[in-house]
Chain A
Amino acid sequence: MDIKFQIPAAAGFLATIEDRLGIDFQIPAVNDFLTAVLGVSVVMLTLALIAVCILLISKIIRIVEAKATKKTAEPVQTSLAESGAPVAAADGVNNGEVDLIGVDEKTAAVIMAIVSQKSDIPLNRLSFKSIKLLDSEKGGKAK
């Protein structure tokens, strides 16, 4: 199935290259084209299939995690409401009722972000009751 390259203008140039490099330039056989097309398609389809699997798995995991979060969040909310402490809003976002004692809002925000990162719990699932500045001389308390 190999066809010799026959365009007259290029033939001389190619002949020189062929001589110099000791090679024989050929138009690739139909089989080679098929292999290339098949190869591109196989890679594309395999990776597309992985993409679909990722989407499905992500969806399933997010549904399962959302259900688990809902289950654990309900009893906590009830107990906090009974104790009269500030609680997270129903949509999971903290309603902002945090007692700041000797701490400005900016510092409190930084502290909350650090706690979230270190504990690996998203901010919208954390509920802060109060943030209090420790007095190192008197030995203050933090909640």
Chain B
Amino acid sequence: MIEMAKEVLLRLVQESGFALLTWQEGVMLLVSFLLLFLAIVKKFEPLLLVPIAFGILLANLPGAGLMADPTGIMDTSNIVEGAHWYDTGVLRLIYTGVKSSIFPCLIFLGIGAMTDFGPLLANPISLLLGAAAQLGVYVAFLLARSFGFTVEEAASIGIIGGADGPTAIFLTGKLAPNLLAPIAVAAYSYMALIPLIQPPIMKLLTTEKERKVEMKQLRKVSKAEKIIFPIVVAVLCSFLIPSCASLIGMLMLGNLFKECGVTDRLSDVAQNAMTNIVTILLGLTVGATANGAEFLRAKTLLIIGLGLLAFSFSTAGGVLLGKVLYLVTGGKVNPLIGAAGVSAVPMAARVAQVEGRKYNPTNFLLMHAMGPNVAGVIGSAVAAGFLLMMFGK
């Protein structure tokens, strides 16, 4: 009797998480605690960081197997004979939404339903700023290639410069799923850090005179223009780069829900309930891909560093084109709005507004910056589509 009790206790200890815990899992659990602290206490992108951090926590619980893949749905290296699909870890099953691009596309639908393209329609030149702010994507691509990453991995690292989480996840899921966790964490972390990253670059590349420029009020955009815009963009972009059709198509469908005036219920669901549900599932499963053994490598640090460079070059690209427009228009464009061309909506536009007011308290750049900001969403989707067209299988 005592022997049996001993055996049971021994087995309990041997199969408990404490005995199974590896050092990598321990470190990842600490990382998840840190991210939860940043999200809850410091309020860094809490809506995304809380599910991502908790995903990291769940995926690194020793022996829990929440990301187990015994039937080889995604990873055929650990197939267990006789296993059924329902033996698969619950987070692995949800992760199929990321792998199949369903979640990023649904998030784009929600973003479209939340976005007002009015400032862009009132000032179409903003689109060029949104395009210039994709510079970092290609600079980071070249740098990543220099460090020996494959073209698929380099393209996925480069897209961090687009400052668009769903786009980064979409492209990485297709081209380099092994890098999904570090790229997603880098993309969302830098989006949260925009108020720290962008201002020094904006200040470095502009003169005080340029930063003080007041822009004239935007014209009122008619309803017909707002309804026709998503249809035209969806058709045009998909014809030019078919591989961006899923992202641009969903973005524009969401926007059409918002603008057409006859689908208020659909627009409401896309903006709120659907986006919230998908954000939970996307964040949780992206975090769950941060497996300690794969995440804790020197390459992860390199990816995070390259992501920062990508972000910085994108900001610089937007500001530099802003300076060109300032010269071409005889000082009518404030180059600070170029920095908003990175697609982090609306944080980047807010940064342009805050920086502008520092030098001219009567200046109101927010609406002008929203143009390049929403153009950046289209720009990063087009950039991702191009990279997918070049390197997708």
Contacts and interface: CB of A to CB of B under 8 A. Distances in A.
Interface of A: 5, 20-29, 32-33, 35-40, 42-44, 46-55, 57-58, 61-62, 65, 122
Interface stretch (B30-38, B94-102, B222-230, B360-368): B222-230
A23 B299 contact: yes
A35 B140 CA distance: 12
B390 interface: yes
Given A33-B142, A62-B222, A43 B127 contact: no
A54 B386 CA distance: 22
Contact of B148 (A24, A42, A58): A24
A39 B386 contact: yes
A32 B151 contact: yes
B236 A53 contact: yes
Interface residues of B, number: 47
Contact of A46 (B139, B224, B382): B382
B184 to A, nearest CB: 21
A76 to B, nearest CB: 20
Query: Is chain B's binding surface mostly helix, strand, loop or mixed?
Result: helix
Given A38-B386, A47-B131, A54-B232, 14 more contacts: A23-B147, A39-B383, A39-B387, A44-B128, A44-B131, A44-B132, A46-B241, A47-B379, A54-B124, A57-B232, A58-B221, A61-B225, A65-B222, A65-B224
Given A22-B298, A39-B386, A50 B236 contact: yes
Contacts of B124: 50-52, 54-55, 58
Contacts of B232: 50, 53-54, 57
A80 B232 CA distance: 41
B391 to A, nearest CB: 9
A122 B222 CA distance: 11
A58 B128 contact: no
A22 B301 CA distance: 12
Contacts of B220: 122
Interface string B361-393: 000000000000001001100110011001000
A49 B237 CA distance: 9
28 contacts: A5-B146, A21-B298, A21-B299, A23-B148, A23-B299, A27-B146, A28-B142, A28-B145, A29-B145, A32-B145, A32-B154, A35-B141, A39-B387, A40-B134, A43-B134, A43-B383, A43-B386, A44-B131, A46-B240, A47-B375, A47-B382, A48-B127, A50-B232, A50-B378, A51-B124, A54-B124, A54-B232, A57-B228
Contacts of B382: 42-43, 46-47
Nearest to B232: A53
A62 B222 CA distance: 8
Contacts of B378: 47, 50
B218 interface: no
Contacts of B237: 46, 50
Contacts of B301: 21
Contacts of B221: 58
B302 interface: yes
B135 A23 contact: no
Nearest to B387: A39
Query: Is chain A's binding surface mostly helix, strand, loop or mixed?
Result: helix
Contacts of A25: 146-148
A22 B148 CA distance: 10
Contacts of B148: 23-26
B229 A54 contact: yes
Contacts of B146: 5, 25-28
Contact of B127 (A35, A36, A50, A57): A50
B137 interface: yes
**Pairs A-B, 4 closest by C-beta atoms:** A36-B138, A51-B124, A47-B131, A47-B127
Contact of A51 (B125, B135, B137, B298): B125
B121 interface: yes
Interface string B273-300: 0000000000000000000000000110
B354 interface: no
Contacts of A42: 240-241, 382, 386
B141 A32 contact: yes
A99 B186 CA distance: 64
Contacts of A5: 146
A22 B137 CA distance: 24
B224 A61 contact: yes
A43 B236 contact: no
A31 to B, nearest CB: 9
